[in-house]
């Protein structure tokens, strides 16, 4: 298994099922099955030698040399059986992990290609569960069930062949409980498919709710609540408990009957064998052979049944994995001529819906190359949607969105994203050092380039104050950094990427005055010479923009410069008035309060 295999090779023909996945690790799994067959067959062989020993010992003149020879054979074959079993175990696990590895890479690749709308309506918990638990669950099939199935087929066949060769009457008697056991199993397992689906839905709900609970644990705590009182989670857990109780109650009768019958063929074999022996038609060694082998003949079926129970859950998991692998990626045309040089961004009669909700309704404007275009408007007016559509996070419904004169749907996605620098409010930082987090914007960037970008983003000083400077590990999502510091890292990344178009969600609202000033300096540095589309939450930071687009309810309410809009656009006048009032209010407040780090200008 080579972990370094490039991602583009991780194409897997879909839909996947347990059979075609075998091809991903055919060699180790093929050998695992072969050695499992050998091991299963050898589990019966020692009984043959014990039988031969019994024949020898019950003869008129037992030859102890022959007895010892047979005993050594029995022991040798037993040792070989265990060795083959160990080899099979290792190979089956190797194959199973190779399949999981390939599947995860293929899924990760596909998730990177699908539009964000794929994730809408799917909780992050359930997506995580598919990538981790569902894929983990497949291991059980290849590493355990496959060898178990082999044993379940080979052991009874080998045992029955031996028994029929020894005495067909007793062999038939050993089979009597089998049809009854199968009948009990059918009774016990009826409707199991529906039940397992119910169980999986419950698990999915619990996973989603646990995810939500963990994300919102600080809020839950602030209300003095705990997991038991976290509504949906508590309901889902209670549902799971009720499911387990119901399942145990309904299935226990059939289960006991099935397991009892499968291991109970001595009930028929022992008395019949004793009677045949008394009649003089069955010798003692053969009787001993039946007493030893008959109980083991059907036992592997029991293990298989346990495993099949889990298989229902795996089949459900396979469905969810297929859903990811078969998700429709954003269309990526080939052979288009990619525009270069200065890139205008044109929105032409653009409409977009989230499900039923119309978010943009015929929006047209141009964000000119090398200029700063600001988007303002009340909350929910469609500003973020416009920016997300440029990055093709969603597919729009109609109209056109052009970058450099070419519709974004004509752009190869990689090429388009390569020309976009993105600084959103929710800065994504991963586990890793500061340096690694910055270098993701330009893989292979030198230390000097990283430091230059960090200096320009006014991030160098706080980075150097961290315990290991650029080599300090950032915790989950950059835990330990303030909102303003995370913002400046995002700006440093964008500087390092040096993309001609910048999508910016102004996010200074939640930071203190000192951070705000630093972020503003960093942004000025970043915006220079680029096509900037910026969502402005506070008007004083966008009033000097080259062009301002005022959004309201998914349509444009006005566009122009600050002065033009003040004279012509009612919504802008209202926004400006509110903004001025809130500034007066906050200045008034600050006159009465001692300034703190968190005080706003
Ligand atoms: N992922 C989504 N699923 C469904 N509806 C959405 C989604 N994102 C946004 N919307 C809806 O689309 C409309 C426009 O939202 P958008 O986020 O673009 O507004 P906005 O102007 O950026 O708001 P804000 O300033 O509060 O961020 C709103 O009605 C919003 O509720």
pLDDT single digits (tens) 78-92: 999 999 999 999 999
Protein residues with CB under 6 Å of any ligand 1 atom: 120, 354, 357, 359, 377, 379-385
How many angstroms separate the alpha carbon of residue 548 from the centre of ligand 1?
A: 19
Query: Which of the four pLDDT bands, split at 50, 70 and 90, describes residue 589?
Result: low
* Tokens of residue 24, six digits: 């991903």
Spatial distance between the Cα atoms of 397 and 381, rounded to a whole number of angstroms? 17
Ligand 1 atom at minimal distance to the Cα of residue 537:
25
Residue 594 has pLDDT above 70, yes or no: no
Residue 509 has pLDDT above 60, yes or no: no
Residue 456: count of CB within 10 angstroms of its CB: 20
How many angstroms separate the Cα of 53 from the Cα of each of 76, 159, 281? Answer: 15, 18, 20
Spatial distance between the Cα atoms of 184 and 538, rounded to a whole number of angstroms? 72
Pairing of strands 555-560, 398-403: unpaired
To which residue do tokens 């055919």 refer?
Answer: 26
How many angstroms separate the alpha carbon of residue 354 from the centre of ligand 1?
A: 9
Residue 20 has pLDDT above 90, yes or no: no
Closest CA to 389 of 326, 442, 330: 330
Spatial distance between the Cα atoms of 211 and 128, rounded to a whole number of angstroms? 10
For 430-461, write each residue's pLDDT tens digit. 778 899 888 888 888 899 999 988 888 888 99
- Residues 573-583 have a mean pLDDT of 85
Of the ranges 61-65, 178-182, 228-232, which one carries the lowest mean pLDDT score? 228-232
Ligand 1 atom at minimal distance to the Cα of residue 355:
4
Residue 153 has pLDDT above 90, yes or no: no
| Overall residue count recorded for the chain in this entry | 601
For 40-55, write each residue's pLDDT tens digit. 888 888 888 988 898 8
Spatial distance between the Cα atoms of 491 and 4, rounded to a whole number of angstroms? 31
Pairing of strands 398-403, 345-354: antiparallel
| Contact assessment for residue 443 and residue 398, using Cβ atoms and an 8 Å cutoff | no
How many angstroms separate the alpha carbon of residue 297 from the centre of ligand 1?
A: 65
- Atom 4 of ligand 1 has which residue's CA nearest to it? 354
Helix residue ranges, H only, 10-63: 18-21, 26-58
pLDDT, greater one: 530 or 207: 530
All structural domains of the chain: 13-176+265-325 (1.20.1560.10), 343-415+535-592 (3.40.50.300)
Ligand 1 atom at minimal distance to the Cα of residue 387:
18
* Tokens of residue 272, six digits: 């019949």
Query: Which of the four pLDDT bands, split at 50, 70 and 90, describes residue 115?
Result: confident
How many angstroms separate the alpha carbon of residue 380 from the centre of ligand 1?
A: 5
The pLDDT assigned to 377 comes to 92
- Atom 2 of ligand 1 has which residue's CA nearest to it? 354
Of the ranges 74-83, 224-233, 540-549, which one carries the lowest mean pLDDT score? 224-233
pTM of the model: 0.61
Of the ranges 375-384, 479-488, 496-505, 539-548, which one carries the lowest mean pLDDT score? 479-488
CA dihedral 506, 511, 514, 517 (to 10 degrees): 10
Spatial distance between the Cα atoms of 425 and 527, rounded to a whole number of angstroms? 16
Of the ranges 137-151, 245-259, 320-334, 499-513, which one carries the lowest mean pLDDT score? 499-513
ipTM metric: 0.97
Q: What is the mean pLDDT of the chain?
A: 82
Q: Which of 356, 374, 375, 382 to mutate to test the pocket of ligand 1 (most atoms within 8 A of CB)?
A: 382
């Amino acid at each position: 298994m080579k972990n370094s295999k490039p991602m583009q090779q991780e194409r897997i023909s879909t839909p996947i099922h347990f059979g075609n996945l075998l091809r991903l690790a055919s060699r180790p799994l093929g050998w695992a099955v072969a050695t499992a067959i050998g091991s299963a067959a050898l589990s019966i062989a020692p009984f043959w030698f014990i039988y031969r020993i019994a024949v020898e010992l019950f003869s008129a003149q037992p030859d102890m040399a022959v007895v010892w020879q047979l005993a050594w054979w029995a022991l040798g074959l037993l040792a070989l059986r265990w060795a083959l079993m160990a080899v099979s175990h290792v190979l089956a696990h190797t194959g199973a992990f190779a399949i999981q590895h390939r599947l995860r890479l293929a899924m990760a690749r596909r998730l990177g290609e699908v539009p964000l709308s794929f994730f809408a309506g799917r909780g992050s918990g359930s997506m995580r569960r598919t990538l981790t638990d569902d894929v983990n669950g497949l291991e059980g099939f290849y590493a355990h069930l496959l060898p178990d199935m082999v044993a379940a087929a080979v052991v009874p066949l080998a045992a029955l062949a031996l028994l029929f060769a020894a005495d067909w009457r007793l062999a038939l008697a050993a089979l009597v409980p089998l049809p009854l056991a199968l009948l009990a199993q059918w009774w016990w397992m009826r409707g199991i498919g529906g039940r397992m689906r119910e169980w999986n839905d419950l698990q999915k709900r619990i996973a989603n709710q646990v995810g939500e609970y963990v994300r919102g644990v600080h809020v839950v705590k602030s209300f003095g609540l705990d997991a038991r009182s976290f509504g949906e989670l508590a309901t889902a857990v209670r549902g799971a408990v009720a499911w387990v109780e119901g399942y145990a109650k309904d299935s226990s009768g059939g289960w006991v009957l099935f397991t009892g019958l499968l291991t109970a063929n001595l009930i028929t074999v022992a008395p019949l064998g004793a009677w045949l022996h008394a009649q003089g038609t069955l010798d003692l060694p053969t009787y001993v052979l039946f007493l030893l082998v008959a109980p083991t003949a059907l036992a592997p079926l029991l293990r298989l049944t346990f495993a099949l129970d889990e298989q229902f859950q795996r089949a459900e998991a396979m469905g969810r994995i297929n859903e990811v692998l078969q998700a429709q990626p954003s269309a990526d045309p080939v052979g288009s001529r990619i525009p270069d040089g200065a890139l205008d961004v044109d929105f032409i009669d653009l409409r977009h819906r989230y499900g039923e909700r119309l978010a943009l309704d015929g929006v047209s404007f141009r964000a000119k190359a090398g200029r700063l275009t600001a988007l303002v408007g009340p909350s929910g007016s469609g500003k973020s949607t416009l920016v997300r559509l440029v990055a093709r996070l969603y597919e729009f419904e109609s109209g056109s969105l052009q970058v450099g004169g070419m519709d974004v749907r004509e752009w190869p996605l990689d090429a388009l994203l390569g020309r976009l620098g993105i600084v959103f409010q929710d800065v994504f930082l991963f586990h890793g050092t500061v340096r690694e987090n910055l270098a993701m914007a330009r893989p292979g960037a030198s230390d000097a380039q990283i430091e230059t970008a960090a200096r320009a983003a006014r991030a160098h000083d706080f980075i150097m104050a961290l315990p290991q400077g650029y080599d300090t590990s950032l915790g989950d999502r950059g835990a330990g950094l303030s909102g303003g510091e995370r913002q400046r890292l995002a700006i440093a990344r964008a500087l390092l990427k040096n993309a001609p178009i910048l999508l910016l969600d102004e996010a200074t609202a939640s930071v203190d005055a000192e951070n705000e000033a630093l972020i503003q300096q960093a942004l000025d540095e970043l915006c220079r010479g680029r096509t900037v589309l910026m969502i402005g939450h506070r008007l004083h930071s966008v009033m000097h923009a080259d062009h301002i687009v005022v959004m309201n309810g998914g349509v444009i309410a006005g566009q122009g410069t600050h002065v033009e809009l003040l004279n012509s656009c009612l919504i802008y006048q209202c926004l400006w008035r509110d903004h001025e009032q809130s500034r007066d209010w906050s200045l008034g407040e600050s006159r009465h309060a001692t300034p703190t780090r968190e005080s706003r200008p």
